[in-house]
Amino acid sequence: MSPCLPSSQISEKMASLFMNLKYFLHLKIYRILALEIYSKI
């Protein structure tokens, strides 16, 4: 970790990364669910 970056900035970046990961995971789950629903119709 570089000393020029404050810990609050680092935690903010980590939080935004985590939110992006959750968002992409939700998109994948919804896509899989939609495919299963469409295949059952």
pLDDT by residue (tens digit) across 1-41? 556 767 888 899 999 999 999 999 999 999 999 999 989 87
The CA-atom distances, in angstroms, between 26 and each of 4, 13, 29, 39, 40 are 35, 20, 5, 20, 21
| Count of domains for the chain | 1
pTM, 2 dp: 0.52
Position 30 in a domain: yes
Place of tokens 């680092």: 10
Position 13 in a domain: yes
Per-residue b or e along 1-39, where b marks 16 or more CB atoms closer than 10 Å to that residue's CB: eeeeeeeeeeeeeeeeeeeeeeeeeeeeeeeeeeeeeee
Contacts of 6 (CB under 8 A, 6+ apart): none
Position 22 in a domain: yes
Whole domain around residue 35: which residue ranges?
7-41
| pLDDT confidence of residue 41 | 73
Position 2 in a domain: no
Position 1 in a domain: no
Position 12 in a domain: yes
Position 20 in a domain: yes
